[in-house]
Amino acid sequence: MTIARFWRETPQRYNLGGSRCSSCGSAFFPPRAVCPTCPEHRRSLGKMEPLQLSGEGEVYSFTVVHDPAEGFEMQVPYVLALVKTPEGPILTGQVVDVLPAEVHVGLRVQATFRKLREEGKSGVIHYGYKFAVAREEGREPVAPEGESVPEPRREGPRPART
């Protein structure tokens, strides 16, 4: 992808900026200039409003990629998902920091800002949204294997104020 094209798409890729038709209320991501659902498309021209997606969503469908795209060799196997947002649009994105076996339809996710790809060792680095498992899923932290040291200090009695 050229630098110019990627740069033009920065607002949606960085900030999940979509659009909403003020005639019929349909939401779109990436943003559209004309509403495809309104019976007369032309009437929606100039009536599309910016819509900020919250980044929340749940896995609608997903696939596990074993044969990576260029630049993703270090992440195999990785999960590519369709994520249904509460605002309406379905987004495509990688689900990160997760084992493929942990992903299921309905898994709640939250957009996170990540490196998408690098143009080799000397080129531009592209950034944008991916998805991480939402905190509401309550994943327990896993203490590193073989850790033979005291557990992190928990909440305890507080010292008297001096």
Contact positions vs other proteins (CB under 8 A): 10, 14-15, 73-75, 96-97, 112-116, 121, 125, 127, 130, 132, 135, 141-150, 152-153, 159, 161-162
Give backbone dihedrals phi and psi of 104, rounded to 5 degrees, phi first: -145, 160
Of 24, 69, 90, 105, which one interacts with Zn ion (CB under 5 A)? Answer: 24
53 forms part of the interface with Zn ion (CB under 5 A): no
Cis status of the peptide bond prior to 144, with omega within 30 of 0: no
Nearer to other proteins, 10 or 61 (CB): 10
* DSSP designation for 88: S
Contact 111, 16 (CB under 8 A): yes
Nearer to other proteins, 2 or 149 (CB): 149
**Binding segment for Zn ion among 44-52, 67-75, 103-111, 126-134 (CB under 5 A)?**
44-52
Torsion of CA 57, 97, 14, 47, to 10 degrees: -10
**Measured between alpha carbons, how far is 109 from 135 in angstroms, rounded to an integer?**
8
Nearer to other proteins, 40 or 142 (CB): 142
40 binds, among Zn ion, other proteins, none (CB under 5 to 8 A by kind): none
